[in-house]
Amino acid sequence: MQLHEFLIRFQLQPLGVNNITSAPAHYPGREAAVLIPVEQIDNQLYLLLTKRPLHLKHHPGQISFPGGKFEQHDKDAIDTALREAKEEIGLERNNVTVIGAFPPHKTFTGFTITPIVGIVNQPFELVIDPNEVESCFKVPLNFFKQGKNRHLGQHWRKGKAYNVHYMPFEDKFIWGVTAAIIDLLCRHIDN
């Protein structure tokens, strides 16, 4: 899938988000936003993902999109996602065209995460903050679009079973809210 087709398919489907340009109504410290960076390389689209370092308190070692908690000075979820992408991987906000957002996802760990979809306008040099990111990698969107690469299983936490998306890719294991967001994106553009 090339960028122009992605944009047409993405924009033809309603997202169900009424207002992504306002701050959360309260600040208990559990609201977050992530950027889904979509990059075109040699006429193929890629999603840019990060691996979290093991020393982090929340979700150590997991695969995620650049992003993090809402801070008081952030104007909205878009501001949070773009700020975090700059801090974590050096992606400048003026190098991203935000094309939309999906409804917030609640995780079984108590976070509410708003996914922001953005097109990376030009190639950029990764500048990884080792305090927040162990590594960064790209996966062809076409890999995720194949239903056989997207799975649903169960994860037990504190005696309760949760349905959890997962997507193995090479030596990586993408699961949880990141995999759920990827699944949502793929279903959205395939409608």
pLDDT in tens, 22-53: 444 444 558 999 999 999 999 999 999 999 88
- Exposure string for 153-162, b = 16+ CB within 10 A, e = fewer: eeeeeeeeee
Confidence of residue 21 (pLDDT cuts 50, 70, 90): very low
Closest C-alpha to 83, from 68, 63, 98, 62: 68
117/108 Cα distance (integer angstroms): 23
All structural domains of the chain, each given as residue ranges with its CATH number in brackets, are 3-144 (3.90.79.10)
Closest C-alpha to 74, from 133, 18, 114, 24: 24
